[in-house]
């Protein structure tokens, strides 16, 4: 399919094709899928331990208590993974999941830099800054 | 209910929501929060945290397939992500400050609007619109493979689209959804982007937008591992299956059924919100 499309694209003389190098985009797409599959696998592994230990406890989410700090911060999550807690491993998978689109944006900076598109390098860095501020600035990194 | 029963039932419901959301193109996240709060009596804050996580999973999981088709426009996506991520941060901070009954009412209104949008035929962008100076300067115009080869398009009304995307991001951060309905409004109606391009580009933006608010939710203790696990795995599996059978399935009647479900859930959320049941 891409081979059939290639001549048509070259026949377009005037517009810069978004991501002239489509390979970068394909690599980024695969990065996302890999990130999602890895995090799903980690969540699933955590789920097995969690269910094995807590299957018969009552489930109750009616009242909002907020998670304890071991599931709210990166260091807390790592601590609970080390002590082999299922919920900690699930939470690690969710952290990896959140990090996946952030990694994609970070790699996009490189992609635009290769294309020498300074405007979009700046835009992408701005998006990355917002994401990192949210991810690290909200107290998660404590 | 024991944790095992709860996990299995929530995983099945999430799987069906992901499957229907993917088959109809309406997204599964929008029905998850009402289902969890109304039928499983989950506090809306936990439900929003779990839904947000599943939104990242489906968006990122589908991205690889979309990229290969060559419809998505990465410059439009990245430019509008400035608006959606700022909006998402604002939404996430608001979510921790406003009462849950207000969240339910806003959620209900968004569901009713989504049901309305899903019944309306999407207006296909006219061909050969004149290039807009701002869009040209931002290099947003592009082309995509069509039956007759490459079709070019010129993006219109950039400031309107950008502002609407800020609103879409804020709703996403506030309610833990992908806010596809508002994105359609911004990209199809205001910016006149052909919908093959807008659908795929918006899908790839959803994950980044959700990631901007997910950090805030996690650090506030809204993301519960026991609840998020079956929701995320169920929705992901459902939407991956949905994207595989999409080509063969008859989606018209399915879309009707799903939009009725969205409508009913929206009314229920409004009712619960106004009568303080959430």
pLDDT in the model for residue A72: 87
Low-confidence winner among A94-98, B34-38, B118-122, B135-139 (lowest mean pLDDT) = B118-122
B96 interfacial to chain A (CB closer than 8 Å): no
Do B60 and A71 lie within an 8 Å CB cutoff? no
Judged by CB atoms closer than 8 Å, whether chains meet at A98 and B6 is answered as no
Cβ distance B78 to A108 less than 8 Å, yes or no, reads: yes
Task: Suggest the residue from B216, B226, B234, B278 to mutate for an interface test with chain A (most A CBs closer than 10 A).
Answer: B226
Instruction: Using an 8 Å CB-CB cutoff, list chain B residues near A56.
Output: 2-4
Whole-model pTM: value is: 0.88
What pLDDT, on a 0 to 100 scale, did the predictor assign at position A90? 96
Mutate to test the interface with A, among B78, B94, B96, B241 (most CBs of A within 10 A): B78
pLDDT score of B120:
76
CB contact at 8 A, B232 and B53: yes
pLDDT of residue A4: 44
Q: What is the pLDDT of residue B185?
A: 81
- Mean of pLDDT values over B47-52: 94
Range name among B167-176, B203-212, B222-231, B252-261 with the lowest pLDDT average? B252-261
Model confidence at A140, in pLDDT bands (50, 70, 90)?
A: low
| B143–A17 CB contact, under 8 Å | yes
Chain A residues close to B7, C-beta within 8 Å: 47, 51, 59
Instruction: Give the per-residue pLDDT at B246.
Output: 61
What is the Cα A78 distance to its own chain's centre? 17
Report residue B203's pLDDT band, with 50, 70 and 90 as the boundaries: confident
Residues of A in contact with B173 (CB under 8 A): none
Q: Which residues of chain B lie closer than 8 angstroms to A104, CB-CB?
A: 60, 207-208
Q: How sure is the predictor about B68, in pLDDT bands with cuts at 50, 70 and 90?
A: low
Can you give the pLDDT at residue A2? 45
User: At residue B250, does pLDDT exceed 70?
Assistant: no
* pLDDT reading at B174 higher than 70: yes
The pLDDT of residue A86? 93
pLDDT at A121 over 60: yes
From B217's Cα to the closest Cα of chain A, the distance in A is: 9
pLDDT score of A21: 59
Tens of pLDDT, residues B146-171 = 777 778 889 999 999 999 999 999 99
Would you say residue B262 has pLDDT above 70?
Answer: yes
Chain B residues in contact with A57 by the CB 8 A cut-off are 2-3
Contact A101 B224 (CB under 8 A): no
Contact B226 A71 (CB under 8 A): no
pLDDT at residue A5 greater than cutoff 50: no
- Of A102, A104, A45, A37, the closest CA to residue B225 belongs to A45
Q: Provide the pLDDT for residue A116.
A: 87
**B226 vs A: CB within 8 A:** yes
In tens, the pLDDT along B87-102 reads: 999 999 898 889 999 9
Tell me the domain boundaries of chain A. Answer: 23-137
Give per-residue pLDDT as tens, A36-89: 999 999 999 999 999 999 988 988 888 888 888 888 888 889 999 999 999 999
Over range B29-47, report the average pLDDT.
91
pLDDT over 60 (residue A17) = no
Task: Look at residue A13 in the predicted model and tell me its pLDDT.
Answer: 41
In chain A, residues with a C-beta closer than 8 Å to the C-beta of B82 are 123, 126-127, 130
Q: Are B205 and B143 in contact (CB under 8 A)?
A: no
* pLDDT in the model for residue A1: 40
Comparing A27 with A123, the larger pLDDT belongs to A123
Q: How far is A91 from chain B (nearest CA, A)?
A: 6
Count of other CB atoms within 10 angstroms of residue A78: 15
């Amino acid at each position: 399919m891409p081979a059939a499309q290639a001549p048509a694209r070259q026949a377009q003389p005037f517009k810069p094709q978004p991501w002239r190098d489509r390979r970068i985009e394909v690599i980024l797409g695969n990065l996302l899928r890999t990130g999602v599959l890895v995090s799903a696998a980690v969540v699933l592994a955590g789920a097995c331990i969690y269910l094995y230990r807590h299957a018969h406890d009552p489930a109750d989410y009616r009242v909002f208590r907020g998670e304890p700090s071991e599931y709210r911060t990166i260091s807390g999550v790592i601590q609970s993974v080390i002590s082999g807690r299922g919920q900690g491993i699930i939470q690690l998978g969710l952290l990896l999941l959140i990090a996946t689109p952030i990694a994609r944006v970070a790699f996009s900076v490189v992609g635009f830099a290769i294309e020498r598109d300074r405007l979009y390098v700046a835009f992408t860095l701005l998006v990355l800054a917002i994401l990192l501020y949210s991810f690290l600035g909200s107290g998660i990194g404590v | 209910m024991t944790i095992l029963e709860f996990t299995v039932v929530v995983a099945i419901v999430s799987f069906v929501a992901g499957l229907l959301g993917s088959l109809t193109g309406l997204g599964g996240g929008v029905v998850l929060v009402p289902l969890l709060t109304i039928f499983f009596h989950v506090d809306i804050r936990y439900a929003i945290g779990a839904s947000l996580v599943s939104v990242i999973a489906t968006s990122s999981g589908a991205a690889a397939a979309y990229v290969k088709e060559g419809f998505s426009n990465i410059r439009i996506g990245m430019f509008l992500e400035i608006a959606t991520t700022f909006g998402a941060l604002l939404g996430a901070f608001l979510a921790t400050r406003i009462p849950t009954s207000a969240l339910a009412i806003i959620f209900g209104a968004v569901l009713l609007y989504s049901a309305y949008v899903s019944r309306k035929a999407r207006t296909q962008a006219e061909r050969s619109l004149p290039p807009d100076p701002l869009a040209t300067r931002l290099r947003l115009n592009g082309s995509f493979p069509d039956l007759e080869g490459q079709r070019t398009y010129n993006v219109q009304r950039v400031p309107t689209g950008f502002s609407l995307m800020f609103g879409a991001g804020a709703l996403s951060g506030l309610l833990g959804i992908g806010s596809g309905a508002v994105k359609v409004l911004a990209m199809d109606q205001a910016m006149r982007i052909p919908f093959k391009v807008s659908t795929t580009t918006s899908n790839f933006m959803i994950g980044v937008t959700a990631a901007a608010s997910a950090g805030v939710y996690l650090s506030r203790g809204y993301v519960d591992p026991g609840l998020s696990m079956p929701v995320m795995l169920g929705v992901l599996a459902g939407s991956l299956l949905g994207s595989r059978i999409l080509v063969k399935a008859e989606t018209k009647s399915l879309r009707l059924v799903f939009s009725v479900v969205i409508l009913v859930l929206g009314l229920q959320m409004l009712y619960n919100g106004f009568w303080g049941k959430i």
